[in-house]
Amino acid sequence: MPDSTLHEPVLAWYAEHQRDLPWRRPEASAWSVLVSELMLQQTPVARVLPVHEAWLERWPTPADLAAEPTGEAVRAWGRLGYPRRALRLHAAAVAIVERHDGVVPDAYDDLLALPGVGDYTAAAVASFAYGRRHVVLDTNVRRVIARVVGGVEHPPASLTRAERDRAAALVPDDDATAATWAVAVMELGALVCTAANPRCPACPLASACAWRAAGCPPHDGPPRRGQAWAGTDRQCRGRLLAVLREADGAVHRSSLEAVWDDVPQRERCLAALVTDGLATRTGPDTYALP
């Protein structure tokens, strides 16, 4: 039997404070949920919302996206970052059409077998789109459980078996409540039990939180490093890809040279974009989206 002492306060809090997000609405399709999960990886909700809306308007079903060239998915991805996610989503759409008659599967194993879908995404889609009982562990959920049950400020860098077992022990027995619990804990981590400056007085689990009871001891593990951006290959790739994305057809090398001065870095990143399938060389000195 799962530990149910935390369920009621979290579910009641969620019923009152949940955000109105398009992929959470009753009418949202499983495809909308899958698209949102890929887009939300390492990207804030506010940036995802307009791109998700435009994506679903253009490609309301997996078949609609699968029928388009991969380059159109990269173009529509815009500035969400980590554009290989667009390729994975396109590949997932193709697989859904080929293996599941165009319908996003509801079984965890079938979801996990889709390109670009890992444990978290498979569990999240099965839970949020189909109301199935799964252990859904993203960064927000892991942080809430680490604090409330584990008594530490942050979870380990990588998911451990002990973490998964602890989370599994908290999942309600019935599917519907388990699915709501999964999204409710995630929302609590996103809005209240945040990584920096958590709003403990507003938390429905404040009185039950082991970390708060211990005086909120600081993280004593390896330092948590932020991701650099300026001058990195990621920034260079983003600049180059923006030129390709905004062009109508092939782009001459000179247009790419104009947005990044470091020649070795620019050539390395351009080659990487081609290798990753995000760009294609169309001539001796021209490039385009695939």
Angle ∠(157,199,164) on CA atoms, nearest 5: 30
Which residue among the candidates 8, 37, 68, 163 is catalytic per the annotation? 37
Q: Do 193 and 143 meet the contact criterion of CB atoms below 8 Å apart? A: yes
Angle ∠(40,14,120) on CA atoms, nearest 5: 35
253 CB burial (10 A radius; 0-12, 13-18, 19+): middle
37 is catalytic: yes
Of residues 167, 78, 182, 81, the one with CA closest to residue 125: 182
Q: Do 61 and 89 meet the contact criterion of CB atoms below 8 Å apart? A: no
Angle ∠(239,244,249) on CA atoms, nearest 5: 165
Task: Just list the catalytic residues.
Answer: 37
